[in-house]
């Protein structure tokens, strides 16, 4: 009996879940079970200290410590995905579907077209041939689902006074409870760490500060904590639930785990892995009611490979910021890679709106987009009833449209009495459910 779409999908999903264990999830556990700190930090604190030894070995040590951070991410992923045993399965599938028993298809693409099978984007990266994409048919991507495109949680969140910081990473990643108290005292900090560089800090405030906390932001440039003035702070120092703080590009941003108390003080002695840290320091002398956050998110930098999007989680398509009654500003961040993967669309309700702040009133959004054929379209969505932070709404497309190649900011419209708030346009699900491991 020829290979069925259901069997192929489940088989390859199980492969991807095994691959994901050693590709997409190693960073939080990279140091566990070996040493408390990374090799670079150990070398720096070694006794007796030898500066010449450190100069000779530090670059290689730090390269190991940082291998799963964004600049090395694709190389790390691809090295893991190049596992010959995984590739052998992809080759065996291609050989089988071309055989008489497998249906005698001309190639894997022809089989996928005929069977309607949809495969995980990471499986595509495993079997894709160098210099060619076996999931293409006449310039159209077939059978290979688009990566997810959405905001993500911070890898580390700390609050309080330097030297006595409280780990709020888990609380900041959950919308369930308003439990991330911020800037209780002048000089208190909010420390945000990520595997990826980021330019957008987003989130929901359950309690806004009574006044501007006058936060000064810093980043580590390899030698010192340098000031990183936001391009825009729509929270006005956490006194407005504006949901968005935007930073400029920081080309000199270097991963670290050191705070600004002086060497060798670190943010957290139990978790000394280096991340891209942004540190906000309250400088307002008086703040009668400090802010409290429910949820904090970031937009990670895009993960590219050979000039195209890699088949792992990616940044959201766009951010929509409410600027006044019936007014919005749409920032397109990341166009779908529809020439490599299938354009994301209505299958399995993949396209969604994601509320990053709560809205106390209804929101009706009209999406401007280019459809799967490249035609310009608009579609008014149904009413989104007073969404809370973290709420999602499935996106509808016009008429017989099934997918989008991109969002057109100029033709997006919002109808709402809200005067602030942010939501994202995301690919929040794959085009079908993914089978368990």
Q: What is the pLDDT of residue 21?
A: 67
Are both 118 and 162 inside the same structural domain? no
Same domain, 267 and 388: no
Query: What is the β-pairing status of strands 392-394 and 276-282?
Result: unpaired
Counted domains in the chain: 3
* Domain finish residue from 82, 108, 141: 141
| Alpha-carbon separation of residue 106 from 11, 89, 130, 349 (angstroms) | 22, 18, 19, 32
The residue whose two tokens read 């059978």 is 143
283 and 332 part of one domain? no
Task: Clarify whether residues 93 and 166 are in a common domain.
Answer: no
Closest by Cα among 185, 166, 160 to 288: 185
**Residue 378 within a domain:** yes
Return d(Cα 166, Cα 149) in angstroms, integer: 30
What is the chain's pLDDT, residue by residue, as a tens digit (437 residues)? 578 999 999 988 888 887 776 655 544 445 444 444 567 666 766 767 777 887 788 778 777 777 767 777 777 777 777 778 888 888 898 889 999 999 999 888 889 989 999 999 988 888 876 555 677 766 678 889 999 999 999 999 999 999 999 999 999 999 988 889 999 999 999 999 998 999 999 999 999 999 999 999 999 999 999 999 999 999 999 999 999 999 999 999 999 888 998 877 889 887 777 899 999 999 998 899 999 999 999 999 998 887 889 998 999 999 999 999 999 999 999 999 998 999 999 999 999 999 999 999 999 999 999 999 999 999 999 999 999 999 999 999 999 999 999 999 999 999 999 999 999 999 999 999 987 65
164-167/232-233 β-pairing: unpaired
Residue 410 burial by Cβ neighbours in a 10 Å radius (0-12, 13-18, 19+): exposed
For residues 251 and 164, state if they share a domain: yes
Q: CB count, 10 Å around CB of 390? A: 17
Shared-domain flag, residues 235 and 258 = yes
On whether both 174 and 294 belong to a single domain, the answer is yes
The owner of tokens 């997918």 is 403
| Phi–psi pair at 156, nearest 5 degrees | -145, 135
Answer yes or no: is 435 within a domain. no
Q: Is residue 275 part of a domain?
A: yes
Q: What does the H/E/C string look like for 141-187?
A: ECCECCCCECCECCCEEEEEECCEEEECHHHHCCCCCCCEECCCCCC
What is the per-residue pLDDT for 411? 98
- 196 pairs with which residues across the strands? none
Query: 270: which 2 tokens?
Result: 């139990």
Based on the fold, state whether residues 202 and 286 are members of the same structural domain. yes
Token couple for 109: 């693409």
Task: Report pLDDT for 61.
Answer: 77
Residue 94 counted as domain residue: yes
Residues 6+ apart with CB under 8 A from 251: none
pLDDT for the residue numbered 37: 58
Indicate the residue among 88, 108, 141 that finishes a domain.
141
CA–CA separation, 180 vs 207, rounded Å?
A: 10
Q: Does residue 277 belong to any structural domain of this protein? A: yes
Sign (positive or negative) of CA dihedral 404, 298, 203, 239: negative
**In this structure, are 171 and 270 located in the same domain?**
yes
CA atoms within 13 A on the CB side of 247: 25
User: What distance in Å separates the CA atoms of residue 279 and residue 379, rounded to the nearest whole number?
Assistant: 40
CB within 8 Å of 176: residues ≥ 6 apart = none
Q: Which run of H or E residues covers position 61? A: helix 51-65
Structural domain of residue 423, as residue ranges? 316-427
From 330, 308, 28, 290, select the one nearest 153 (Cα to Cα): 28
Residue 276's domain is classified under what CATH number? 2.60.120
What tokens appear for 347 in the block?
A: 């299958």
- Residue 71 domain-assigned (yes or no): yes
Is residue 194 domain-shared with residue 75, that is, in the same domain? no
Give the Cα separation of 275 and 254 in Å (integer): 8
β-strand partners of 395 = none
Q: Are 352 and 128 in contact (CB under 8 A)?
A: no
- Last residue within a domain, chosen from 141, 176, 205: 141
Report the distance separating Cα 434 and Cα 437, nearest Å.
9
CA separation for the pair 353, 367 (Å, rounded): 10
13 and 137 within one domain: yes
Confirm whether 308 is domain-assigned. Answer: no
Q: Are 82 and 8 in contact (CB under 8 A)?
A: no
- Let me know if residue 61 belongs to a domain: no
Residue 91 corresponds to which tokens in the numbers above?
């080759």
State the pLDDT at residue 35. Answer: 44
Residues 97 and 193 in one domain: no
Helix axes 84-98, 5-23, angle to 10 degrees: 170
Strand 244-246 relative to strand 198-207, pairing: antiparallel
Question: What confidence score (pLDDT) does residue 65 get?
Answer: 74
- Confidence at residue 16, expressed as pLDDT on a 0 to 100 scale: 84
């Amino acid at each position: 009996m020829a290979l069925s779409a259901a069997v192929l999908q489940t088989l390859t999903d199980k492969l991807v879940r095994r691959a994901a264990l050693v590709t997409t999830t190693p960073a939080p556990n990279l140091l566990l079970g070996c040493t408390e700190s990374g090799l670079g930090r150990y070398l720096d604190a070694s006794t007796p200290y030898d500066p010449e030894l450190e100069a000779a070995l530090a670059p290689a040590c730090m390269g190991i410590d940082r291998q799963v951070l964004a600049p090395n991410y694709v190389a790390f992923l691809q090295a893991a995905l190049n596992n010959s045993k995984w590739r052998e399965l992809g080759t065996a599938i291609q050989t089988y579907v071309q055989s008489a028993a497998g249906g005698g298809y001309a190639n894997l693409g022809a089989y996928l077209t005929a069977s309607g099978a949809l495969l995980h984007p990471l499986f595509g990266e495993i079997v894709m041939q160098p210099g060619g994409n076996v999931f293409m048919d006449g310039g159209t991507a077939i059978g290979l689902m688009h990566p997810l495109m959405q905001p993500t949680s911070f890898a580390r969140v700390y609050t309080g006074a330097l030297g006595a910081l409280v780990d709020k990473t888990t609380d900041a990643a959950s919308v369930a409870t308003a439990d991330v108290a911020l800037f209780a005292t002048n000089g208190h900090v909010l420390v945000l760490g990520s595997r990826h560089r980021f330019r957008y800090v987003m989130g929901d405030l359950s309690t806004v500060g009574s006044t501007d906390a006058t936060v000064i932001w810093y980043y580590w440039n390899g030698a010192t904590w340098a000031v990183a003035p936001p391009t825009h702070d729509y929270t006005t120092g956490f006194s407005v639930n504006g949901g968005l703080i935007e930073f400029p590009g920081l080309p000199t941003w270097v991963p670290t785990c050191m705070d600004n108390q002086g060497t060798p003080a670190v943010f957290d002695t139990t978790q000394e892995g280096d991340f891209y840290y942004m540190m906000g320091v309250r400088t307002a002398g008086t703040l009668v009611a400090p802010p409290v956050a429910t949820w904090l998110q970031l937009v990670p930098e895009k993960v590219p490979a050979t000039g195209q999007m890699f088949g792992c989680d990616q940044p959201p398509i766009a951010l929509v910021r409410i600027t006044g009654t019936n007014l919005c500003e749409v920032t397109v961040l990341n166009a779908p890679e529809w020439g490599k993967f299938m354009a994301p669309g209505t299958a399995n309700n993949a396209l969604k709106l994601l509320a990053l702040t709560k809205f106390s009133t209804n929101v009706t959004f009209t999406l401007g987009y280019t459809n799967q054929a490249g035609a310009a379209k608009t579609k008014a969505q149904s009413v989104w009833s007073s969404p809370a932070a973290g709420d999602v709404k499935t996106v509808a497309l016009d008429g017989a449209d099934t997918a989008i190649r991109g969002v057109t900011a100029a033709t997006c419209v919002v109808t709402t009495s809200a005067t602030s708030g942010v939501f994202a346009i995301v690919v929040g699900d794959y085009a079908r459910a993914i089978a368990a491991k």
